[in-house]
Amino acid sequence: MSFNKFWMITNVADAYDGYRGEYIPEKQAPRFLHPYREQAEKELLRLQARHPHSEFVLLEAVAVAKPKTMLIVEPITAFLAVETIDSDIPF
């Protein structure tokens, strides 16, 4: 999957302290990638109106780390030339 810039929304109202920061409960983790900021902001306002006691945050993707795969293609430059020789050898 190729990623361009995108935005995500999450509910941080029930975030709780953890060892290295705060954790967001799994049921409130973001699940949708908005390709346009304006679209994400509209959704942010819609969610806040629907859940007035929640606290929603708009997140912007700023970097991506993905596995590096390397494909090496080596051209074949030498071919074996086989001459046809009449002989009694069966191969």
The model's pLDDT over 57-87, given as tens digits with 9 standing for 90+, comes to: 999 998 877 777 776 666 655 555 555 556 6
Using an 8 Å Cβ cutoff, are 28 and 10 in contact? yes
Q: What is the mean pLDDT of residues 11-39?
A: 89
- pLDDT class for 19, splitting at 50, 70, 90? confident
Q: Shortest CA distance to 55 belongs to which of 21, 22, 6?
A: 22
Query: Is the whole-model pTM more than 0.85?
Result: no
pLDDT higher for 69 or 30?
A: 30
Helix, strand, or coil (residue 52)? coil
List helix spans (H) across 1-91: 37-50
91 falls in which pLDDT band (50, 70, 90)? low
Answer yes or no: are the C-beta atoms of 36 and 44 closer than 8 Å: no
pLDDT value at position 53?
A: 94
User: How far is Cα 14 from Cα 55, in angstroms, rounded to an integer?
Assistant: 9
